[in-house]
Chain A
């Protein structure tokens, strides 16, 4: 250590500067080389894209991504894992790519947003100052009688991918042949509108092969659902839907499908009229914005976060933006692709605002595939614009569903396009 060359001195001071810069992330008063600071909470389909695209557009902005998990497990395509024809490892992504774009990734849980002092606090007590904050935390669950933390292990929701997905797959595999696979489907609005029905389809595909005496029972709070005609049409084609031997039974809310309470000890769910028991129950509770958004005063009476749809800036807190499932983005679905699109609109609005430029004209797209079997894919797609005269809702310009009479080869192509959608959007998110 005593041999002090010029080179080692430079190295040392360089190191000190680096430490100083890291520390200043917490200290609002210490200056750094960056002109502006953006903090992003949540490293999923929305937050990761916002962080990456801000850095791609303007390297003078310091971007800190606060994400509690070291790895991200994608919800899209996780129903394939539940049905046993996809490895959970293919759903797993890391944050090295974002670091490559110069995003500072902090693996901690964000616990508090102070919109007055413009700081985010994490579980360990670290504070991060921001000029602009982007919140993309996913969804939270509303209360359902009997459904607490312990019950969520016995009756997995698998609506946040990872351990929950694996748990549900395990329970399906262990389920007694002849037991029903019971799914409690949530009321609108919720994350991934076609998701429960894709899951029901793929579980039916699994049951036919592995538990021929079992069937899927969907207890739904709603009377209709996303891609309704395509799902029920496909179920007729593939699973004998609407016949006495149907592998899928769907009970709409109007016919007593709404589940009022659950009992994880007896593995029973109760609707107003009936009770149903099984060794495998998938409870997808009603949803609202994530707790961090609720606790930070970003939500209104609806339980979701009202935002200006051309920027995604909160209507309740200045300089705070909410994207993805937690936002009340009227006109756009709560989908991974919509979160990706919202993140890009938000990123360009934030970059423009920080550089003193007018709000850019936004453009949005949603594309969402669902599977009815491993060889049967369907899709919905739409292009949206923002109309200054109708700022309350994003306007759909064009789009629509896969045709109801598409031949088998088209269903098969869409199944592989679904995999491709996933690979490209994940490369866009984490690459």
Chain B
């Protein structure tokens, strides 16, 4: 409960700071945070709220987390299909602006919009199985509150798009990709099979 309250307070603070930021646009300061961040919306949705099924929602994530991931995309340390190419287009300062702006936006859970057949539907059977595996793996040591909590190096997973989480589980498991991850994470990824990791993705996606 206390945690939730703090989260709301942080969000309100963020919104106020956001209001102040809109006014500060001049040539020396470069493009505004909104101008920069709005270019993300074509793939990640208005204010970072993705239309799914595989593109992650990034609005409402922690700015430190977003900045760190963008830096890894830019350096090539973190493998990606497309983000490495895009991240190279921004300076560190611009990435910070974009991340700050997205972090101020409210989080929105994945919805079940009318889409093509190529998407995965959350299976309650797999989600139940995933819940047991998450407990077994003691994932809540970092991914607290069933993946609802987040901090500077832990992304929110609850309510994220299931196909995105499945892709990331596959990537983490893929030795060739060498996805940067803390040792404690790598240890757990190694322990579980791809099928088990997919079930865990279903569990986290089912949490709202």
| A residues in contact (CB < 8 Å) with B | 53, 80, 86-87, 90, 337, 340-341, 344-345, 348, 352, 357-358, 360-365, 367, 374, 379, 381-384, 397-400, 402, 409-410, 413-417, 419-428, 431
Give A366's nearest chain B residue, CB to CB. Answer: B42
Contact of B43 among A399, A413, A421 (CB under 8 A): A421
Contact of A427 among B36, B40, B46, B86 (CB under 8 A): B46
B52 at the interface (CB under 8 A from A): yes
A413 touches B54 (CB 8 A): yes
B30 at the interface (CB under 8 A from A): yes
**Which stretch, B7-15, B115-123, B195-203, touches the partner chain A?**
B115-123
Contact of A340 among B35, B42, B116, B161 (CB under 8 A): B42
1/0 per residue, CB under 8 A from A, across B29-60: the answer is 11110111011111111100111111100000
Q: Kindly list the 3 A-B residue pairs having the minimum CB-CB distance in the complex, ordered from nearest.
A: A383-B89, A423-B51, A420-B55
Given contacts A363-B39, A419-B115, contact A428 B46 (CB under 8 A): yes
Contacts of B25 in A (CB 8 A): 352, 357-358, 360-361
Chain B nearest Cβ from A149, distance in angstroms: 32
Starting from the known contacts A348-B32, A402-B82, A425-B41, 10 additional A-B residue pairs (CB-CB under 8 Å) come to A344-B39, A367-B43, A383-B90, A410-B81, A416-B119, A416-B163, A420-B161, A424-B45, A427-B45, A428-B41
Contact of B170 among A340, A409, A428 (CB under 8 A): A409
A431 touches B53 (CB 8 A): no
A381 touches B46 (CB 8 A): no
Given contacts A363-B35, A382-B89, A428-B46, contact A374 B118 (CB under 8 A): yes
Which B residues from 57 to 88 make CB contacts under 8 A with A? Answer: 81-82, 85-88
Contact of B51 among A345, A398, A426 (CB under 8 A): A426
Contacts of B53 in A (CB 8 A): 416, 419-420, 423
Give B53's nearest chain A residue, CB to CB. Answer: A420
Chain A nearest Cβ from B109, distance in angstroms: 14
Interface size class, chain B: 35 or more
B167 at the interface (CB under 8 A from A): yes
Contacts of A382 in B (CB 8 A): 85, 89
Could you jot down 20 A-B contacts, CB within 8 Å?
A53-B38, A80-B116, A90-B114, A340-B42, A348-B32, A348-B35, A358-B26, A361-B27, A362-B35, A363-B39, A367-B43, A397-B89, A402-B82, A413-B167, A414-B82, A420-B43, A423-B52, A427-B46, A427-B51, A431-B51
Chain A nearest Cβ from B12, distance in angstroms: 20
B42 touches A417 (CB 8 A): no
Q: Given the complex of chains A and B, what is the CA–CA distance between A131 and B161 in angstroms?
A: 42
Contact of B42 among A360, A362, A365 (CB under 8 A): A365
Secondary structure of the A contact surface, majority rule: helix
Q: Given the complex of chains A and B, what is the CA–CA distance between A381 and B54 in angstroms?
A: 17
B1 at the interface (CB under 8 A from A): no
Q: Given the complex of chains A and B, what is the CA–CA distance between A387 and B107 in angstroms?
A: 35
B41 touches A419 (CB 8 A): no
B30 touches A417 (CB 8 A): no
Contacts of A414 in B (CB 8 A): 81-82
Q: Given the complex of chains A and B, what is the CA–CA distance between A86 and B44 in angstroms?
A: 22
Q: Given the complex of chains A and B, what is the CA–CA distance between A374 and B118 in angstroms?
A: 9
Chain B nearest Cβ from A360, distance in angstroms: 5
| B residues in contact (CB < 8 Å) with A | 25-27, 29-32, 34-36, 38-46, 49-55, 81-82, 85-90, 113-116, 118-119, 161, 163, 167, 170, 174
Q: Given the complex of chains A and B, what is the CA–CA distance between A382 and B30 in angstroms?
A: 19
Chain A nearest Cβ from B52, distance in angstroms: 6
Q: Given the complex of chains A and B, what is the CA–CA distance between A410 and B54 in angstroms?
A: 13
A425 touches B42 (CB 8 A): yes
Contact of B39 among A365, A413, A419, A427 (CB under 8 A): A365
Given contacts A420-B43, A420-B54, A427-B45, contact A398 B27 (CB under 8 A): no
Q: Given the complex of chains A and B, what is the CA–CA distance between A363 and B54 in angstroms?
A: 25
Give A422's nearest chain B residue, CB to CB. Answer: B51
A424 touches B50 (CB 8 A): yes
Which among A341, A423, A425 has the highest number of chain B CB atoms within 10 Å? A423
Q: Given the complex of chains A and B, what is the CA–CA distance between A329 and B186 in angstroms?
A: 47
Contacts of A402 in B (CB 8 A): 81-82
Contacts of A383 in B (CB 8 A): 39, 86, 88-90
Given contacts A413-B81, A427-B46, contact A419 B118 (CB under 8 A): yes
Q: Given the complex of chains A and B, what is the CA–CA distance between A146 and B181 in angstroms?
A: 62
Contact of A419 among B32, B38, B54, B170 (CB under 8 A): B54
Chain A nearest Cβ from B26, distance in angstroms: 7
Contacts of A358 in B (CB 8 A): 25-27
Contacts of A379 in B (CB 8 A): 81-82
B35 touches A398 (CB 8 A): no
Give B176's nearest chain A residue, CB to CB. Answer: A407
Contacts of B35 in A (CB 8 A): 344-345, 348, 360-363
Chain A nearest Cβ from B123, distance in angstroms: 17
